[in-house]
Chain A
C-alpha cells in the first residue's frame, strides 16, 4: 500500500498554485490521475518518484518511509524502486533498445529482459538505435525499461498522448498485460476517458491542486450531466441553408452536423465548447 499526503507551492501558468493531495492506494491497484492541464498531475508523480521535493507531507510505501518533512526523511530517487515513464520517453540515444532496458536491470538478469522484450513486442528490434524507432515503439521501450527496474510503483506520465489511436489501443493492452503479469501498483496520468475506464480501477480527480474525487472512473464520468443524452462537443463551423443553420461539431473523434436556429448559431466561434442535447426530434445547444 502507498499512502501519501503532499503539499507544494507551484508556479503555474496563472500564478501560484498550492498542490495539496492526500491519498491511499492499495497494493497492485491501477489508478488513473485525471484533471485539467496545470492541475499538478505531473508534479504529483515527480514528488512520488523523488524528482521534486514537496514543501511538506509524507510518502509511505508499505513499511518504508520515502519522505517525511517532519522527521526530515528524504529517500533519493535511486533508492525508491519507482518505474517512471516520462512523457518524452527519456530514452538514452547512445544505447540501443536492449541496452536501454539492461541499463535498468540488475546484472545477470538477461532472462527477464528477454521476457520483457517479448511482452512489449520488441524482440525483433533489440539491437535497433532509439532514433530509428516510431513513437509507439519508443513508448514500448520506455515501458520495458521502467519494468526492468522491478519497481514497487509504476508511474506513467501521459504515456500514450502522442500516439495514434490504433497504436494506442495496442499499447493499452500491453499495459494491462504488464500490470497483470507483474502486479505492480501503477498510476497513469491520462486525459482519455476511454483509456481511464479500460485500464484503471480508480481515478484520482484533481483540480487546481486539490483532490476532488477518488473513486471508480465509471462513477466519475457517467451521468454527470443532468441530461444523459447531452454531448460535450467542440464547435467547428456553421453553414446557412435557407432559414436553417447547420453546425458541425466535433465529439470524440467524430464530426457530426446538427440543425439549429440563427439565435443559437450566431455567437459560436471555432473551438468553443458546447453541449448538444437531444429531446425527441429536437436538438438543443448550450455554450459552456
Chain B
C-alpha cells in the first residue's frame, strides 16, 4: 500500500503557495498594469523567467542561495536560525517563485482589460486606491482571479524539478507526490507509482474542470 503523506504534503504546499501568490500577485499585477517605469520591464522579465527556464535551473540556483555554505543561507541561519535547503519552507519559496507567472499573468491581463475610466471614476467619487482595488477592480476581474488561483494551485501540484533540487525527498517534510512517483519507479514498484500518478491525474482533471465550469458560469453573467 502507498503512503498518503506525499499526497497531503503536495496539497498543503499547493494551498499555501496559492495563498501567498494571491497576496503577492495582486499588488504586483496592479503595479505592472499601471506603471510606466523602466523597472517594469525588468519586473516582467523576472516574473516570466520561470516559464522559460528549466525547473532544475531555478532549483539549482535556489539551492545554492539557501545553502548555509553561501552568504544568503548563512545569513538566514546565523540571524534567524532558519535553514531553507531541504525543508518545507524552502519548497514553499521555490514554489512561489516557480508558479508566480501563472498567477500574475491572468490577473495582469484582467486588470489591463478594464477601461481606465472605471478607476478614474472611482477616484473622482472620492475613493482611495485601496477601496478602488477591492470594490471596483477585483470584483470585475473574477474570472481572471479564478484562473490565476487554479493555475497556480495545479502548477504547484505538478512541480518536479524545482522541488527535487531544493527539497530532496525527506519523508513527511519534502517528499511530494510527484517525487514519490519517481522514487517508486526507480525502485521498480510500478503498482505504487501508478496509484500516485493516477491520484495526481484525478486531482488535476477535477481542478481544471472546476475552473472551466465556473468561468463559464461567470461569463454567463457577462462582466463587461
Q: List 18 A-B contacts (CB under 8 A).
A: A50-B123, A77-B120, A77-B124, A78-B126, A78-B127, A79-B126, A82-B124, A84-B121, A90-B118, A90-B120, A92-B118, A92-B121, A92-B122, A103-B125, A103-B135, A104-B125, A145-B125, A149-B126
Cβ of B125: which chain A residues have Cβ within 8 Å of it? Answer: 103-104, 145, 149
Chain A CB within 8 A of B4 CB:
no
Chain A CB within 8 A of B223 CB:
yes
Complex: how many Å from CA A136 to CA B123?
24
The answer, among B115, B127, B222, B223, for a CB contact under 8 Å with A90, is B115
Interface 1/0s, chain A 91-104, versus B by CB < 8 A? 11110000000011
Q: Given known contacts A94-B140, A131-B222, is B117 in contact with A76 (CB within 8 Å)? A: no
**20 additional contacts (CB under 8 A) given A77-B120, A94-B136, A149-B126:** A51-B123, A77-B124, A78-B128, A84-B124, A86-B121, A88-B117, A90-B115, A90-B118, A90-B120, A90-B121, A92-B122, A92-B136, A93-B224, A94-B139, A94-B223, A103-B127, A129-B221, A131-B222, A131-B224, A145-B121
- Interface members, chain B 209-224 (any A CB < 8 Å): 221-224
By secondary structure, the B interface counts as: helix
Cβ of B222: which chain A residues have Cβ within 8 Å of it? Answer: 131
Q: Given known contacts A86-B121, A88-B115, A88-B117, is B223 in contact with A93 (CB within 8 Å)? A: yes
**Closest residue of chain B to A103, judged by CB?**
B125
Interface residues of B (CB under 8 A from A): 115, 117-118, 120-128, 135-136, 139-140, 221-224
Tell me how far the C-beta of B126 lies from the nearest C-beta in chain A, rounded to whole angstroms: 5
Interface 1/0s, chain A 125-150, versus B by CB < 8 A? 00001010000000000000100010
Cβ of B124: which chain A residues have Cβ within 8 Å of it? Answer: 49-51, 77-78, 80, 82-84, 149
**Closest residue of chain A to B129, judged by CB?**
A78
Complex: how many Å from CA A88 to CA B121?
11
Tell me how far the C-beta of A150 lies from the nearest C-beta in chain B, rounded to whole angstroms: 10
**Closest residue of chain A to B223, judged by CB?**
A93
Interface residues of A (CB under 8 A from B): 49-51, 76-84, 86, 88, 90-94, 103-104, 129, 131, 145, 149
Cβ of B126: which chain A residues have Cβ within 8 Å of it? Answer: 78-79, 81, 104, 149
Complex: how many Å from CA A87 to CA B140?
20
Cβ of A79: which chain B residues have Cβ within 8 Å of it? Answer: 126
Complex: how many Å from CA A51 to CA B118?
12
Tell me how far the C-beta of A42 lies from the nearest C-beta in chain B, rounded to whole angstroms: 11
Cβ of B139: which chain A residues have Cβ within 8 Å of it? Answer: 94
Complex: how many Å from CA A31 to CA B120?
23
Cβ of B115: which chain A residues have Cβ within 8 Å of it? Answer: 88, 90
**Closest residue of chain B to A149, judged by CB?**
B125
Complex: how many Å from CA A257 to CA B192?
88
Complex: how many Å from CA A82 to CA B118?
15
- Residue in B117, B120, B121, B135 with the greatest tally of chain A CB atoms within 10 Å: B121
**Closest residue of chain A to B138, judged by CB?**
A94
Complex: how many Å from CA A65 to CA B34?
28
Cβ of A149: which chain B residues have Cβ within 8 Å of it? Answer: 124-126
A-B residue pairs, 6 tightest by C-beta: A90-B117, A94-B139, A90-B121, A104-B125, A77-B123, A84-B124
Cβ of B122: which chain A residues have Cβ within 8 Å of it? Answer: 92, 103
Complex: how many Å from CA A92 to CA B118?
7
Complex: how many Å from CA A129 to CA B123?
22
Cβ of B118: which chain A residues have Cβ within 8 Å of it? Answer: 90, 92
Cβ of B120: which chain A residues have Cβ within 8 Å of it? Answer: 49, 51, 77, 84, 86, 90
Complex: how many Å from CA A129 to CA B139?
14
Cβ of A51: which chain B residues have Cβ within 8 Å of it? Answer: 120, 123-124
Tell me how far the C-beta of A50 lies from the nearest C-beta in chain B, rounded to whole angstroms: 7
Complex: how many Å from CA A31 to CA B222?
37
Tell me how far the C-beta of B180 lies from the nearest C-beta in chain A, rounded to whole angstroms: 43
Tell me how far the C-beta of A159 lies from the nearest C-beta in chain B, rounded to whole angstroms: 13
Tell me how far the C-beta of B121 lies from the nearest C-beta in chain A, rounded to whole angstroms: 4
- Residue in A51, A78, A149 with the greatest tally of chain B CB atoms within 10 Å: A78
Cβ of B140: which chain A residues have Cβ within 8 Å of it? Answer: 92-94
Tell me how far the C-beta of A97 lies from the nearest C-beta in chain B, rounded to whole angstroms: 15
Tell me how far the C-beta of A131 lies from the nearest C-beta in chain B, rounded to whole angstroms: 6
Complex: how many Å from CA A103 to CA B128?
12
Complex: how many Å from CA A145 to CA B126?
12
